[in-house]
Amino acid sequence: MKAIGGTAYLKIDGDQKTLGGSWSVSPTLTVKTGVTGLSGPAGYTEAPRIPFMEGSLIDNGGLSIKQLEAIKEATITLELVNGKTYVGYEMYLAGEPSHDTATGEVSVRFEGKKIEEM
């Protein structure tokens, strides 16, 4: 039986990070929203959106919040145990990283120009 989840690897410009918790990736470039009128469904609107990867990194003492904040135009690779790989281009740290001192995990969200599913 083949593994479908669990082990994953993340590299930021080739520098491998230690992942904690779970990670989400959304490579979609558009979002559709249904529109309804008084007589029922009328169609949908479509708008651009920013693809993202988000989850937590484990701080084993070598993870720098300042270095994370400085990430701009990075190539980020997320490799999954099921053989799938996502590559994000021109990625940056979005929002504010949050360090959970009880678990040693830093919550992060990376957004960028595009994410390709390999």
Contacts of 3 (CB under 8 A, 6+ apart): 81, 82
6 pLDDT tier (thresholds 50, 70, 90): confident
Contact at 8 Å (CB) between 10 and 24? Answer: no
Which pTM was predicted?
Answer: 0.90
Domain annotation for the chain: domains and CATH numbers:
8-117 (2.40.30.200)
For the chain, what is the radius of gyration of the CA atoms?
17
Pair of tokens at residue 36? 């309804």
Query: Rounded to an integer, what distance in angstroms lies between the CA atom of residue 31 and that of residue 93?
Result: 21
- Span 15-66, pLDDT tens digits: 999 999 889 999 999 999 999 999 999 999 999 999 999 999 999 999 999 9
- Give the residue ranges of DSSP H helices in 1-118: 65-69
3-state secondary structure of 66: helix
